[in-house]
Amino acid sequence: MSWNVLATSHEGRRDALLTALRRLGTFRPGGYRNIVVGEVENPRELLDRVREALPTDALLGTALARLLPVDVRVRFDPESPAETLAAAAEPLLDRLAGGSFFVRLERRGLKGRVHSPSVERDIGDRVWRALEGRGHTPRVEFRDPDAVLVIETLGDQAGLVVVDRAARRDYPFVKVR
């Protein structure tokens, strides 16, 4: 099954989260503890639907820790992930241009094979160079960036999304660690 949404539950609440989210789309366990993935027609619209449901849906409110729409999915080689992941980020670069950004990789699986901080730095360098090549002046900011390139991995699959400041403000469940 393909997926364009990744959600995390509060500890031990994955099944409750699955039950709550199935009302909003097709969801299944993501293969890792507290992880749910789903396929919905419009991931951005789902953010609004979840925000509207949270005040009245006790199950969703007690189970959902985090939810992210996914713009790009790709398989990568764990021996050299940065090249594939940076290439997959290419269609998202315009959303990183003109402001501050950083790269965040949430790795699940591949322990000892993929070192998240090293991959983040490598992809960040590649994104920086690509933005410069397009005539932009990139800035890295970790405290409150204009945008974050978030890469969520499940084994050798990755979902990428740009989370901007407005999304972090408007959807309290769209969190970047």
Residues 4, 43 contacting (CB under 8 angstroms): yes
Residue 163 CB neighbours (<10 A): 20
d(CA 99, CA 105): 20
Residue whose tokens read 């970047």: 176
Domain boundaries, the chain: 5-70, 72-167
Its CATH class, for the domain covering 72-167, is alpha beta
**Residue from 32, 24, 25, 23 nearest 3 by CA:** 25
Q: Which residues contact 42 (CB under 8 A, 6 or more apart)?
A: none
Average pLDDT of the chain, as a whole number:
95
Question: Looking at residue 111, what is its pLDDT?
Answer: 85
pLDDT tens per residue, range 8-52: 999 999 999 999 999 999 999 999 999 999 999 999 999 999 999
Of the pLDDT bands very low, low, confident and very high (cuts 50, 70, 90), residue 115 is confident
pLDDT tens per residue, range 91-108: 999 999 989 999 999 999
Q: How far is CA 21 from the centre of its chain?
A: 17
Residue 83 pLDDT > 90: yes
Q: Which residues contact 50 (CB under 8 A, 6 or more apart)?
A: 24, 60, 64, 67, 171, 173
